[in-house]
């Protein structure tokens, strides 16, 4: 009740201000509660939406692209062998707690992420706060990492030496996890730092009301584009429909997580607008190669011809989806324009099944260990940008498959269980997808296909493909790498290793009073350019 | 009112029995994305859902799923529960203590929560939710039949039969059980209403019937998000079906109680 009264007061306040002067507060509808606000240990979009406002990284994504531009580092140089990177930090930048940003503080941040013996690293890991992304992007901790050493070579110069050149190095550094935190504040709060975040960003942390909202205020000393609003409120509204109702009522100014069918509702509302995030996400169907039937390429091909992707994308993505012919979305520079997609043809699918010895259709599978069971198609229990309504999409695909003689039973599990089963290679055929972190094709395709036979990829093994991808990772010239990624997509398609269904341009809805919101394919969006008129 | 209830129940039973007989339905292939979310028309009197499936067809076929689940889970619970109650009441002593203690434990949990917990443990699906719902309904039957036995045990006709040397089993089966029936019948009708509601709740939470089975609760869960885009028919009809069926069984149960309860008759 108190919450509602407060919301009413805020909206009254906003209404009052609406016509006279620009509003001082930007209220954004979040999809849930942040995990915590220490960027180094989070992996979810709800938390990073907030931390991106509070912190800066050395380099950042430029506008609506994944190109990298200066942020806390004003400029940088790289040695000819691609191993030594020298970053020159911006001068006169202060953390929100008043401490200066200098080479020592950047060095301290790197050591916290990288060295397992670093006292703060140790504390946080003990408290269950693991540095997952550091491990994934930079090869591991301590000696396992691709990072050889990090030094402060001047008061505002940091030098990072790598053991081998890493093509996506800069793109990695722009990710939200590598935002620079105030060492003094981290030391002060220890494992509780995630509740008391201090960075150099455009907004300072004010308050976190659990299950309600997180409040930030403008940082008047910000080094970049000064914030246009005085306050930012990120309000937690879990249900998509309820969030839209709040937007229509003017309680919030913007939101993400629209039901696909609500896109047209927003489009037809004269007070609202839709912004699309450039596509950087692909939904797929993966086969388990421990299932004998799926070891036969003709069966996989039958799946490919049976599913009517065009109809699914047109009907179930609210007009923001694209049919995917390959893993990388068209926005990535490794995308293969020449690749032709499989034709939708139930007849072809039936013929292929017949050739493979399933003239009566396919409804049971045999695992390698001889166990027979009904063919279960796993659909996701949670909506993700690449499959915004996974149950419906799953049902539609199951219907397409049934029309071609593949009778599947649909099943799901709670999200954590689902991911766990997938990781252990227990799902025979399942839906999942990927949203890119940094705009580099390596982050998209290598994570999945660089370790042949991994249980988490359904034991899919394609050694030539993995070799090609690892080679692409070690090169530094983009044109050369792009050629290899295009080739990789072709190899993947020739083998029908996996079925790529759709890309999505996740829609965000805003009041027409909101100007200057820039969507980014990685979801890293900064609110300092946002105006509320 | 009881007649209205009887009418509704009879109508649903007819639908549940006749629909599959006169109309073959394959939920697996029944979707047409080109026809999705069409409002009610002559072709589709209840409109179409998000995959372009005819809602009338699904609601009608859903009657068999919901009613079947309600009736069979209640039948199972009634048999197990009344046998346990009869034994507890008739044998008494330690058996009574143990059985009723177990029933009290089951009763200590809110029924819906317990059903959710059971299904979460053994996995979702129609059969498992049937099992969960019947398990949570058992204690009520045990209590009712035990109470009835306790009251009947000391009645003259029972003492007389025992005096004539009738065996325990025969006494229970021929003399005591038939006299426990009226309250059990009333309870059964009311419990079917509860079971239908419970099945819908589990379906709504994704724990009951799995797609594409046309189950009312699951249909409701799939469609409530279309509230904001104005497609009212997708959730209205399954919701109305649940409401009507539950109402029917409740009215019928109330009527039966009025007719069968000796205390109300006097």
Whether the Cβ atoms of residue A437 and residue A177 lie closer than 8 Å to each other? no
Provide the mean pLDDT of chain A.
Answer: 92
Contact with chain B for residue A269, Cβ under 8 A:
no
User: How many angstroms separate the CA of residue B226 from the nearest CA in chain A?
Assistant: 7
What CATH number does residue B138 fall under? 1.10.3720.10
Q: What is the pLDDT of residue A20?
A: 45
Closest residue of chain B to A312, computed from CA coordinates:
B33
Tell which wins on pLDDT, A511 or B207: A511
Q: Is B229 close to A259, i.e. CB distance below 8 A?
A: yes
Q: In chain A, which residue's Cα lies nearest the Cα of B32? A: A396
Say yes or no: A245 contacts chain B, CB-CB below 8 A. yes
Confidence bin at A473 (pLDDT 50/70/90):
confident
The answer to the question of residue B185 being in a domain is yes
Question: What pLDDT sits at residue B264?
Answer: 57
Upstream peptide bond of A329 is cis (omega within 30 degrees of 0): no
Least trusted range by pLDDT, from A144-153, A163-172, A324-333, B232-241: A163-172
CB of B209 less than 8 A from some CB of A: no
Contacts B223 to A, Cβ<8 Å: none
Instruction: Provide the token pair at A327.
Output: 């893993």
Say if residue A483's pLDDT is above 90: yes
| Domain residue limits at B167 | 2-28+39-265
| pLDDT above 80 (res A209) | yes
Find, in chain A, the residue whose alpha carbon is nearest to that of B224. Answer: A241
Rounded CA Rg of chain B: 22
Percent of residues in chain A assigned helix, strand, coil, to nearest 5: 35, 25, 40
Specify the CATH class of A35-191 in words: alpha beta
pLDDT of A95: 97
> Which of B50, B125, B203, B215 should we substitute to test contact with A (largest number of A Cβ atoms within 10 Å)?
B50
Q: Which of residues 393-452 of A touch B (CB under 8 A)?
A: 394-396, 398-399, 402-403, 407, 409-412
Q: Please give the DSSP secondary-structure letter assigned to residue A100.
A: B
Q: Give the CATH number of domain A205-278+507-532; options: 3.40.50.1700, 3.30.565.10, 3.40.190.10, 3.40.50.2300.
A: 3.40.190.10
pTM for the full predicted model = 0.85
> Is residue B34 included in any domain, yes or no?
no
Which chain A residues are within 8 Å of B224, Cβ to Cβ? 241
Tallying the residues shown for chain A, one arrives at 533
Long-range own/partner contacts, residues A471-478 (CB < 8 A, 24 or more apart): A472/A167, A472/A441, A472/A442, A472/A446, A473/A166, A473/A167, A473/A442, A473/A446, A474/A164, A474/A165, A474/A167, A475/A167, A476/A82, A476/A165, A476/A167, A478/A333
Nearest CA in chain B to A310: B33
Question: pLDDT, tens digit, for every residue of B212-229?
Answer: 999 999 999 888 888 888
Residue A249 contacts B where some CB pair is shorter than 8 Å: no
Q: How confident is the model at residue A10 (pLDDT cuts 50, 70, 90)?
A: low
Q: Tell me, what's the pLDDT at A1? A: 44
A64-73 pLDDT per residue, tens: 888 899 999 9
CB pairs under 8 A between A and B: 71
How is residue A266 written in tokens? 């927003």
Q: Looking up tokens 């035990």, which residue turns up?
A: B146
- pLDDT, position B68: 92
- The residue ranges of every structural domain in chain A are 35-191, 205-278+507-532, 281-504
Stretch A497-515: mean pLDDT? 96
Say if the Cβ atoms of B34 and A311 lie within 8 Å: yes
The reply to whether B113 falls in a domain is yes
Does A376 reach chain B within 8 Å, measured CB to CB? no
Nearest residue in chain A measured CA to CA from B119: A413
B212 CA: distance to closest CA in chain A (Å): 7
With beta carbons less than 8 A apart as the criterion, state whether B142 and B100 touch: yes
In tens, the pLDDT along B52-61 reads: 999 999 999 9
Cα distances (Å, whole numbers) of residue B226 to A170, A459, B62, B230: 43, 39, 20, 6
Asked whether A249 and A271 are in contact (CB, 8 A), the reply is no
Model confidence at A90, pLDDT cuts 50, 70, 90, reads: very high
Which token pair is A112?
A: 């916290």
Instruction: Quick: pLDDT tens for A289-303.
Output: 999 999 999 999 999
Is the CB of B25 inside 8 Å of chain A's CB atoms? no
The per-residue pLDDT for range A368-410, each reduced to its tens digit, is 999 999 999 999 988 889 999 999 999 999 999 999 999 999 9
> Which of B211, B228, B230 has its CB closest to that of A245?
B228
Q: What is the model's pLDDT at position B208?
A: 86
pLDDT over 70 at B263, yes or no: no
Cβ contact B28–A399 (<8 Å): yes
Cβ–Cβ below 8 Å for A392 and B50: yes
Residues in chain B within 8 Å Cβ distance of A418: none
Q: What is the pLDDT of residue A22?
A: 61
Nearest residue, CB atoms, B28 vs list A391, A402, A412: A402
> In the beta sheet, which residues pair with residue A180?
A56
CB pair distance less than 8 Å for A411 and B229 = no
ipTM of this predicted structure: 0.83
Cα of B174 to nearest chain A Cα, Å? 47
Q: For residue A315, which residues of chain B lie inside 8 Å, CB to CB?
A: 33-34, 36, 52
Give yes or no for B45 touching A (CB within 8 A).
no
Partner residue opposite A395 with nearest CB, options B212, B228, B230:
B212
B121 inside 8 A of chain A by CB: no
| Count of domains for chain B | 1
Alpha-carbon distance A396 to nearest alpha carbon in chain B (angstroms) = 7
Instruction: Mark yes or no for CB contact A409/B210 under 8 Å.
Output: yes
pLDDT at A19: 45
Distance from the B67 Cα atom to the nearest Cα atom in chain A, whole angstroms: 23
Do residue B211 and residue A394 have CB atoms under 8 angstroms apart?
yes
Using the beta-carbon criterion (under 8 Å), do B33 and A395 form an inter-chain contact? no
Q: What confidence score (pLDDT) does residue B5 get?
A: 93
Q: How far is B52 from chain A (nearest CA, A)?
A: 10
Of B34, B224, B229, which has the smallest distance from its Cβ to A261's Cβ?
A: B229
C-alpha to C-alpha distance for A498 and A363, rounded to whole angstroms: 20
- Architecture of the domain spanning A281-504: Roll (3.10)
Q: Specify the pLDDT at position A242.
A: 92
Q: pLDDT grade, residue A247 (50/70/90)?
A: very high
Interatomic CA distance for residues A488 and A494, integer angstroms: 10
Residue of B28, B46, B47 lying closest to B38 (CA atoms)? B47
List A residues 312-331 in contact with B (Cβ-Cβ < 8 A).
Answer: 312, 314-316
Tell me the three-class secondary structure of A350-398, residue by residue: HHHHHHCCCCCCECEEEECCCCEEECEEECCCCCECCECCHHHHHHHHH
CA distances from A367 to A123, A288, A291, A292, A394 (A): 44, 9, 4, 6, 23
Q: Do B30 and A245 touch (CB under 8 A)?
A: no
pLDDT at position A3 is: 57
Name chain B contacts of A316, Cβ cutoff 8 Å: 33, 50
Whole-angstrom distance, CA of residue B148 vs CA of residue B140: 12
Using CB atoms, which residue from A396, A409, A411 is nearest to B51? Answer: A396
Across residues A125-137, what is the average pLDDT? 90
Tell me if B222 and A391 make a contact (CB, 8 A cut-off): yes
Q: Are A259 and B228 a contacting pair at CB < 8 A?
A: yes
Shortest Cα distance, chain B CAs vs residue A399, angstroms: 5
B36 closest CB neighbour out of A315, A407, A409: A315
Q: Which residues of chain B lie closer than 8 angstroms to A245, CB-CB?
A: 228
User: From CA B230, how far away is CA B225, in angstroms rounded?
Assistant: 10
User: Considering the domain boundaries, does residue B205 fall inside one?
Assistant: yes
Share the mean pLDDT of chain B. 90
Q: What is the pLDDT of residue A100?
A: 96
Q: Are A431 and A285 a contacting pair, CB within 8 Å?
A: yes
Number of residues written out for chain B: 266
CA of A315 vs chain B CAs: smallest distance (Å): 6
Cα torsion angle, B15, B20, B26, B28, sign: positive
Which helix or strand (DSSP H or E) is residue A498 part of? strand A498-504
**Which run of H or of E encompasses A510?**
strand A507-511
Chain A hits for B212, CB-CB cut-off 8 Å, are 395, 398-399, 410
Kindly state whether B226 is in contact with chain A, defined as any CB-CB distance less than 8 angstroms: yes
The reply to whether residue A399 touches residue B36, judged by beta carbons under 8 angstroms, is no
CB of B245 less than 8 A from some CB of A: no
Q: Tokens 């407060």 label which residue?
A: A6
* Average pLDDT for B6-28: 91
Whether A18 has a pLDDT exceeding 50, the answer reads no
A60 membership: H or E segment, kind and range: strand A59-61
Provide the shortest C-alpha distance from residue A222 to chain B (in Å).
40
Q: How far apart are the first and last CA of chain A?
A: 29
Q: What is the mean pLDDT of residues A198-204?
A: 97
Residue B206: its chain A contacts at CB < 8 A? 381, 412
Main-chain phi, psi angles of B225, to 5 degrees: -75, -10
Distances in Å between the Cα of A6 and the Cα atoms of A3, A9, A14, A243, A384 are 5, 5, 12, 16, 31
What element of type H or E holds A472?
helix A463-474
Mutate to test the interface with A, among B29, B30, B33 (most CBs of A within 10 A): B33
pLDDT tens-digit map of B138-185:
999 999 999 999 988 888 888 898 889 888 888 888 888 888 888 898
Distance CA B191, CA B246 (A): 10
């Amino acid at each position: 009740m108190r919450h509602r009264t407060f919301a009413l007061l805020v909206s009254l306040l906003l209404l009052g201000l609406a016509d006279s002067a620009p509003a001082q507060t930007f209220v954004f509808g979040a999809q849930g509660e942040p995990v915590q606000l220490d960027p180094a240990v989070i992996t979810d979009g709800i938390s990073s939406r907030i931390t991106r406002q509070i912190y800066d990284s050395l380099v950042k994504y430029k506008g609506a692209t994944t190109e990298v531009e200066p942020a806390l580092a004003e400029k940088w140089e790289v040695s000819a062998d691609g191993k030594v990177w020298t970053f020159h930090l911006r001068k006169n930048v202060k953390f929100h707690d008043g401490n200066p940003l200098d080479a020592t503080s950047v060095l301290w941040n790197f050591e916290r992420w990288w060295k397992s013996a670093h006292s703060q690293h140790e504390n946080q890991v003990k408290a269950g706060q693991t540095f997952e992304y550091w491990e994934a992007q930079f090869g591991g901790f301590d000696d396992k990492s691709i990072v050889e050493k990090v030094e402060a070579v001047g008061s505002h110069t940091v030098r990072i030496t790598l053991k081998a050149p890493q093509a996506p190095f800069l793109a990695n550094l722009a990710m939200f996890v590598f935002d620079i935190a105030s060492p003094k504040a981290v030391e002060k709060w220890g494992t509780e730092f995630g509740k008391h975040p201090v960075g150099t960003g455009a907004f300072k942390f004010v308050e976190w009301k659990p299950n309600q909202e997180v409040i930030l205020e403008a940082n008047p000393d910000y080094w970049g584009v000064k914030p246009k609003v005085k306050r930012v409120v990120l309000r937690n509204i879990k249900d998509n429909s309820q969030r839209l109702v709040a937007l229509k009522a003017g309680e919030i100014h913007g939101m993400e997580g629209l039901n696909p069918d609500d896109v047209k509702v927003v489009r037809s509302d004269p007070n609202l607008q839709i912004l699309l995030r450039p596509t950087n996400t692909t939904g797929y169907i993966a086969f388990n190669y421990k299932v004998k039937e799926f070891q036969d390429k003709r069966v996989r091909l039958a799946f490919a011809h049976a599913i009517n992707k065009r109809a699914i994308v047109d009907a179930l993505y609210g007009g923001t989806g694209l049919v995917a012919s390959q893993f990388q979305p068209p926005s990535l520079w490794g995308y293969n324009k020449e690749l032709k997609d499989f034709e939708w043809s139930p007849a072809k699918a039936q013929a292929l099944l017949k050739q493979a010895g399933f003239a009566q259709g396919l409804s049971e599978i045999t695992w390698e260990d001889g166990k027979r069971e009904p063919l279960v198609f796993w659909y996701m229990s949670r909506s993700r940008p690449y499959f915004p309504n996974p149950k419906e999409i799953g049902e539609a695909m199951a219907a397409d498959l049934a029309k071609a003689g593949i009778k599947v039973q649909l099943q799901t599990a709670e999200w954590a269980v689902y991911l766990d089963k997938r990781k252990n290679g227990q799902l025979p055929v399942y839906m999942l997808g990927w949203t890119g972190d940094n705009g580099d094709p390596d982050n998209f395709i290598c994570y999945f296909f660089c370790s042949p036979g991994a249980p988490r990829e359904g034991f899919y093994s394609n050694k030539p493909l993995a070799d090609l991808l690892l080679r692409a990772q070690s090169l530094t010239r983009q044109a050369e790498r792009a050629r290899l990624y295009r080739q990789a997509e072709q190899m993947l398609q020739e083998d029908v290793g996996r079925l790529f269904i759709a890309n999505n341009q996740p829609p965000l809805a805003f009041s027409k009073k909101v100007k200057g919101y820039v969507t980014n394919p990685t979801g890293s969006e900064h609110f300092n350019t946002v105006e509320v008129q | 009112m009881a007649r209205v209830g009887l009418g509704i129940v009879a109508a649903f039973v007819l639908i549940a029995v006749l629909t599959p007989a006169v109309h073959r339905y394959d939920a697996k292939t029944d979707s047409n994305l080109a026809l999705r979310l069409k409002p009610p028309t002559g072709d589709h009197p209840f409109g179409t859902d998000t995959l372009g499936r005819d809602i009338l067809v699904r609601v009608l076929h859903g009657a068999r799923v919901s009613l079947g689940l309600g009736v069979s889970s209640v039948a199972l619970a009634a048999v197990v529960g009344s046998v346990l109650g009869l034994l507890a009441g008739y044998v008494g002593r330690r058996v009574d203590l143990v059985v009723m203690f177990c029933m009290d434990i089951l009763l200590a949990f809110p029924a819906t929560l317990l059903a959710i917990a059971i299904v979460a443990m053994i996995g979702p699906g129609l059969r498992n939710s049937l099992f969960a719902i019947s398990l949570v309904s058992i204690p009520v039957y045990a209590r009712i039949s035990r109470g009835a036995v306790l009251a009947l045990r000391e009645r003259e006709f029972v003492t007389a039969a025992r005096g004539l040397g009738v065996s325990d089993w025969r006494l229970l089966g021929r003399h005591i059980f038939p006299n426990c029936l009226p309250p059990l019948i009333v309870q059964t009708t009311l419990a079917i209403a509860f079971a239908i509601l419970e099945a819908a709740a589990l379906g709504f939470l994704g724990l009951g019937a799995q797609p594409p089975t046309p189950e009312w609760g699951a249909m409701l869960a799939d469609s409530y998000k279309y509230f904001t885009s104005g497609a009212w028919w997708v959730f209205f009809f399954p919701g109305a079906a649940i409401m009507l069926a539950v109402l029917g069984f409740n009215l019928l149960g109330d009527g039966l109680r009025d007719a069968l309860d000796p205390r109300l008759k006097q």
